[in-house]
Structure 1
């Protein structure tokens, strides 16, 4: 089993939900969060992925427990999305689960 954590700007919520649906992920948790960059570094004229200046960005974070095959397939789909849409604002992480209580 793996834990998938995916974060995206609000505009990509449906795309993430589509990836889950394609892999028959029937249960996941979803959080709406605000991303803020307060590093004080000069921003590129179009901002950065996480936030523009100190103005918060609306983000959505999904996390779910899935089997290894689903994890591999979702990550492959996300990788392909990044190739097809270089400005795709989705980030995903797979974490191994060593122990669990259910």
Structure 2
């Protein structure tokens, strides 16, 4: 068994829901999260004169438990989907499940 975790900006919620339906994901959990960009990558040498706060965006996160073979197929299809939409902001991760109750 694998855990699939996917995150995206709120605007892609319906796209990801449709993708899960097409992949025959029987159930998933969905919740709203606040994404925060600390801006560490492009720090200017004199600091940021205009803002000292974090930049946050509305995101949506999904997770589900799926079979190994389904996980591989979903990731392959999601990669193809992202190739078709170069600015797509969907991130997905597959985690191994060692134990379940």
Q: TM-score band (shorter)?
A: 0.7 to 0.9
Give unpaired runs (5+ residues) of structure 2. 44-52
SS for the counterpart of 1:6 is: strand
Give unpaired runs (5+ residues) of structure 1. 44-52
Q: CA RMSD of the aligned region, Å? A: 1.7
User: Taking structure 1 as reference, are residues 28 and 42 closer, same or farther at Cα in structure 2, changes over 3 Å only?
Assistant: same
Query: Equivalences for 1:1-102 in 2 at 5 Å?
Result: 1-42=1-42, 54-101=54-101
Task: State whether residues 36 and 56 of structure 1, in contact with CA within 8 Å, keep that contact through their aligned partners in structure 2.
Answer: yes
Any runs of at least 4 consecutive aligned residues in structure 1 with deviations exceeding 2 A, and if so which?
39-43
Task: State whether residues 19 and 74 of structure 1, in contact with CA within 8 Å, keep that contact through their aligned partners in structure 2.
Answer: no
Bigger radius of gyration: 2
Task: State whether residues 6 and 90 of structure 1, in contact with CA within 8 Å, keep that contact through their aligned partners in structure 2.
Answer: yes
* Paired position in structure 2 for 1:48: none
Q: TM-score, structure 2 length as denominator?
A: 0.81
Q: Which one has more relative contact order, counting CA pairs under 8 Å at least 6 apart? A: 2
Q: TM-score, structure 1 length as denominator?
A: 0.81
State the aligned residue count. 92
